[in-house]
A and B are shown apart, each in its own frame.
Chain A
């Protein structure tokens, strides 16, 4: 059992917040069993923003109707990355195909929900709140946050990216962090910047000095959130900067510490902000996992999938970025020995119309496919490809409610009660290996 001081030091690091630990928010100070970094399963959610064309992602190349519907946009059986006698992957997804062959990736077909909504933000709301009626104002990951955190002191869920906190992470009582592009968290004082250090000390002292008579008052709430923010900043600073080694024994010369520059190995602001970049974001996520941040769910996005016109090249580029990034991500994790505890999920707000349009693109559709990736995933194709004949107003019909995917990951991977989070029971899919 870690004693309180040692525990705080581990999590809050060298922060001055240590001094008045009675005011540090509960989730940082819980002295009960602390889940040690490196032990819990992690889920990385990748949002493909805009409505990914599933039909050209996992391609029913053996079906004539596919080729007929897409004279300009189709891929022939020689171009695709073959999965089986029915479907193959878009040519850009070679590395995804490799992962599938290696037994580390599942493709789930025909995913959607009843009464599909073809509005971007409305359908996105559905996927993020896990509520097809769009009455919930909170996100499914936010609702899992308390269980994700359990008795640990770790931040349960983190968003990384320039956009505002997605609905999926909104509504948690506390404990969800938006890292933005990391810059504001890491632009903390370095050894030379005394001004900034003084400023930081003053700011934190004043937060602690605020009146906090009532725990449930607005003031107490703000104080807690601010302390959480500063503690997160400190935590990240500790993770990304190697600690100064302890002084050596008397008589021996003190080693000259050469700490790495604060932002060593972290992609720059421009890279992390670019909407069509996924690689830098997953790179940072892999680093945060490997360095022991302890977070259970990460959320990032790749934008640009709303391909109403000129789809052929655009989509190919985006899928290439997706494929390379996901493969690179797991390679990076394998290098640090963390790959087996991470599963990655892709999703998009809807698929696209079967029939291509007259602008070399496709319009908003409904059911689509998604990927679940990682060494812990039971590889293969889950569910049949939706019929290209029996359509719903020109769109593919779904057969697998997306909430079944969430339920599977919640119950069988993250150890959360999907019934509570999703407000109902959804049959899980066979996506997770019994033994890795």
Chain B
């Protein structure tokens, strides 16, 4: 573990916490930390990626996950073009499948992870927007800004047609302001409750009057815009929406608010960190002109990140669970997976309300656990009873054993546990798996068949649900 950080986050030195981790002989870079980094900075790693990461070291791996591989942006743009075409057909599940495909294929999974984060942050639902193409365009907007700067992101989302429909902006007019967007902008998107007054909501709403959509594009309805003087967060002027965003970002609370949410995404969902711990990050965020990539880099390289404070302290969201399992297979059929994600509680493009999915422990209830198990079974062993020698349609999880012709139960378990959990199982679990694989003294195809059952079991373990 990175140095000896105190157990409780209230005792961790905020300066030490965010310093870059430097592996040492007593605190080495290894499979465990490589797996951890790949899970947090994306959707998990393939066995090849893990082995490569251990070999090339922390620094090289960090660059790879933070910056993405060469050609990443190009590839994503191409896939986005396909997305536009798919979105125009107005089939929501098709667009969901498209996003899963993009996440699976991306050479920069971190950006997809952040796109998903912003999707939940600016939670907009197709249930009200009712236009698949507009949801796609919002998704593209979020991807564009995912690792960019906060101000342009806030400005662009304020003009996004899906968002404008979602929060009733067309009814926000001079003389009859609708406060919906102004309120959520401050409460949920930038400052948090307690850092503005009701009067600020009213004044901000006035500043956003006329920020409408014609149903397809942003449209500034000049004659419906309230040009009079407004007093917002103590500042007076004939404010427009752009000014509101600017003034919001002058508040210290803004940086802290976003930092706290990113802490939950990247570090831990298990405890609420004290403000003192987040303050150095918030300061850095402000100084850098709200540079998201820089903030993310600081967090993912830190001593706190590479410590037990962060290790397995998040529950994998359904998208992480699914993409993490499927990614190593390469060619899969993600279009069919949207309903399964829904059964796990995450219908993409349809968060339950403007607060988004609660995430964390809320992902796991009895029905969603069964849904995860059901998906895992479909991927590992297939649905129909299969005969030895016939792998399930999505790929063969025992290929890693097959490659090196490993049929000895103990060796097989060691390798599978490394591949899927980077060694993170108890001795008792290991022994149980070995006895499972050893039953019947199976050989060749029959053994590999049984190995698939072992992988299924690994995917249903409590450890595997945690990122």
* A residues adjacent to B (C-beta < 8 A): 119, 121-122, 125, 137, 159, 164-165, 167, 170, 176-180, 184-185, 195, 198-199, 202-203, 205-207, 209-211, 217-219, 221-223, 225-226, 228-229, 232-233
Instruction: Please tell me which one of the listed residues B367, B377, B429 contacts residue A206 in the complex, with CB atoms under 8 A apart.
Output: B429
Say yes or no: is B433 at the interface (Cβ < 8 Å to chain A): yes
Q: Are A206 and B460 in contact (CB under 8 A)?
A: yes
Measured CA separation A163–B64 after assembly (Å): 40
Say yes or no: is B453 at the interface (Cβ < 8 Å to chain A): yes
CB closest chain-B residue, reference A121: B353
Query: What 0/1 readout, one digit per residue, does chain B (423-467) give for beta carbons within 8 Å of chain A?
Result: 001101100110010000000000000000110111011110110
Instruction: Please tell me which one of the listed residues A177, A180, A206, A228 contacts residue B461 in the complex, with CB atoms under 8 A apart.
Output: A206
Q: Which one of B286-294, B307-315, B326-334 contacts A?
A: B307-315
Chain B positions 62-84 with a Cβ under 8 Å from a chain A Cβ: none
Counting chain B CB atoms within 10 Å of each CB, which of A125, A176, A198, A206 scores highest?
A: A206
Nearest 10 pairs of A and B residues by beta carbon = A178-B367, A209-B429, A222-B462, A209-B428, A229-B366, A184-B370, A229-B369, A223-B462, A210-B462, A177-B366
Measured CA separation A165–B365 after assembly (Å): 9
With a CB–CB cut-off of 8 A, which chain A residues contact B369? 225-226, 229
With a CB–CB cut-off of 8 A, which chain B residues contact A221? 361, 364
B side interface size, CB within 8 A = 49
CB closest chain-B residue, reference A184: B370
Measured CA separation A134–B311 after assembly (Å): 34
**Sample of 14 further A-B pairs with CB below 8 A, known A165-B367, A222-B465, A226-B462:** A121-B127, A121-B353, A165-B345, A177-B365, A179-B366, A179-B367, A185-B370, A198-B453, A199-B377, A206-B433, A207-B460, A218-B313, A222-B315, A222-B462
CB closest chain-B residue, reference A216: B270
Say yes or no: is B176 at the interface (Cβ < 8 Å to chain A): no
Measured CA separation A219–B364 after assembly (Å): 12
Q: Are A180 and B313 in contact (CB under 8 A)?
A: no
Measured CA separation A90–B260 after assembly (Å): 53
A–B Cβ pairs within 8 angstroms, 17 of them = A164-B347, A164-B367, A165-B365, A165-B367, A178-B367, A179-B367, A180-B370, A205-B432, A206-B433, A206-B461, A209-B428, A210-B425, A219-B312, A221-B364, A222-B465, A225-B364, A229-B369
Q: Are A202 and B436 in contact (CB under 8 A)?
A: yes
Q: Are A199 and B456 in contact (CB under 8 A)?
A: yes
With a CB–CB cut-off of 8 A, which chain A residues contact B315? 218, 222
Q: Are A202 and B453 in contact (CB under 8 A)?
A: yes
Q: Are A184 and B371 in contact (CB under 8 A)?
A: yes
Q: Are B466 and A222 in contact (CB under 8 A)?
A: yes
Measured CA separation A178–B366 after assembly (Å): 6
Q: Are A219 and B426 in contact (CB under 8 A)?
A: no
Measured CA separation A207–B425 after assembly (Å): 11
With a CB–CB cut-off of 8 A, which chain B residues contact A167? 352
With a CB–CB cut-off of 8 A, which chain A residues contact B433? 202, 206
Q: From residue A399, how far is it (CB to closest CB) to chain B in Å?
A: 28
Q: Are A209 and B426 in contact (CB under 8 A)?
A: yes
Measured CA separation A137–B352 after assembly (Å): 11
CB closest chain-B residue, reference A167: B352
Counting chain B CB atoms within 10 Å of each CB, which of A177, A184, A185, A207 scores highest?
A: A184
Q: From residue A141, how far is it (CB to closest CB) to chain B in Å?
A: 14
A121-B127, A184-B374, A203-B457 given; A164·B342 CB < 8 A:
yes
With a CB–CB cut-off of 8 A, which chain A residues contact B461? 206-207, 210
With a CB–CB cut-off of 8 A, which chain B residues contact A119? 128
Q: Are B432 and A170 in contact (CB under 8 A)?
A: no
